[in-house]
Amino acid sequence: MQLRLDPRDVDAVRRMVAAGVTVVACTGRPYPGAVPWVKRLGLAGPIVCYQGAQVRTLDGDTLLDHGVHHSLAMEVIRYARERDLHVQGYRDDLLIVQRDRPEARRYAQHAGMEIHVVDDLDQAMGETTPKLVIVSTPETIERLLPDPETIERLLPDVRRRWEGKLNAATSTPDYLEFTSVESDKASALRFVSDRLGISQSEVAAVGDGRNDTSMIAWAGLGVAVEGSPGEVIAVADRTIPGPGHGGIQQLADALLK
């Protein structure tokens, strides 16, 4: 995994930290895949990871854990299998799959993790898993839906199926992620804020994916990256340019003035 960060963004984050701002990484990445980014940014933790299902310290201690219960996880796994979609879970910070498919390798490379192939996900997952991810490509979706674009086209169906039971959102056009209905980035950020004694009105949240929507809506200042999906832009108070265009630098200037 190659860490590609805009030096301006790294400098802006470190400038905020030096000024006394508490900066918390809120990511969909599994904990092992999040730690290198957090260290590169010079953050001390805690880390919101697995789409808000867990809050961890930089040393690995778990402060919050809301996993998907086994029975619900198996419903998602069966849904994916019936459609020949790649699906993966996690146990003890290991990425576990039942079939070694190209989608798994692409995700593993992106997340900076190794693939662990198991004989049976039903037996391998344990009582809960932090999240499940269906990873696909436009070619795979083309077999399932007319006029395909991305896996996002499955969102209405899965949200209806597991309404009130699971949260479902896309983090990228190819990743459809499921977490416990108790866990999203907003609930995890609220937990961290309460723990640190920081009021909601003092929190700024920045994101660019559907999985960031709840967090951006909850924060006192919600910031969406330009080009984010419409539902993300709709709940934001302002927008900033995307990676490579100095957006975090702009935000730091606004917060520290």
pLDDT tens, residue by residue, 43-71: 998 999 999 999 999 999 999 999 999 99
Judge whether residue 231 has pLDDT over 70. Answer: yes
DSSP secondary structure of 29-98: S-HHHHHHHHHHTT----EEEGGGTEEE-TT--EEEE-PEEHHHHHHHHHHHHHTT-EEEEEETTEEEES
pLDDT in tens, 79-126: 999 988 899 999 999 999 999 998 999 889 888 889 999 999 999 988
CA dihedral 200, 203, 62, 112 (to 10 degrees): 150
**Is 118 buried (19+), middle (13-18) or exposed (0-12) by CB count in 10 A?**
middle
Average pLDDT value over all residues in the chain:
90
- Domain end residue (candidates: 180, 207, 240): 180
Can you give the pLDDT at residue 154?
Answer: 87
One domain, residues 176 and 189: no
Residue 86 contacts residue 135 (beta carbons within 8 Å): yes
Supply the pTM of this predicted model: 0.88
Identify the three-state secondary structure at position 208.
coil
Residue 166 contacts residue 181 (beta carbons within 8 Å): yes
**Structurally, how many domains does the chain consist of?**
2
Can you give the pLDDT at residue 112?
Answer: 83
Q: Residue 165 — pLDDT band, cuts 50, 70, 90?
A: very high
Task: Count each helix (H run) and each strand (E run) in the chain, helices first.
Answer: 11, 15
One domain, residues 51 and 134: no
Asked if residue 1 is part of any domain, the answer here is no
Asked if residue 155 is part of any domain, the answer here is yes
Output the domain CATH number for residue 227.
3.40.50.1000
Can you give the pLDDT at residue 111?
Answer: 84
Output the domain CATH number for residue 80.
3.30.1240.10
One domain, residues 150 and 172: yes
**Is 170 buried (19+), middle (13-18) or exposed (0-12) by CB count in 10 A?**
buried
One domain, residues 188 and 251: yes
Percent of the chain at pLDDT > 90 equals: 73
Can you give the pLDDT at residue 109?
Answer: 87
CA dihedral 95, 101, 107, 108 (to 10 degrees): 50
**What is the average per-residue pLDDT within 134-159?**
69
Q: Residue 185 — pLDDT band, cuts 50, 70, 90?
A: very high
Judge whether residue 77 has pLDDT over 80. Answer: yes
Print the domain residue range for 132: 68-180
- Domain end residue (candidates: 180, 197, 230): 180
**Is 17 buried (19+), middle (13-18) or exposed (0-12) by CB count in 10 A?**
middle
Q: What is the C-alpha to C-alpha distance for residues 205 and 199, in angstroms, rounded to an integer?
A: 13
Of 168, 178, 73, the C-alpha closest to 125 is 73
Judge whether residue 24 has pLDDT over 80. Answer: yes
Judge whether residue 137 has pLDDT over 80. Answer: no
One domain, residues 114 and 162: yes
**Is 62 buried (19+), middle (13-18) or exposed (0-12) by CB count in 10 A?**
exposed
Asked if residue 2 is part of any domain, the answer here is no
Of 190, 193, 192, 226, the C-alpha closest to 207 is 226
One domain, residues 79 and 167: yes
One domain, residues 169 and 88: yes
Can you give the pLDDT at residue 110?
Answer: 84
Q: What is the C-alpha to C-alpha distance for residues 250 and 203, in angstroms, rounded to an integer?
A: 17
DSSP element (H, E) containing 224: strand 221-225
| Pairing of the two strands 221-225 and 204-207 | parallel
One domain, residues 170 and 201: no
- Domain end residue (candidates: 159, 180, 201): 180
One domain, residues 114 and 176: yes
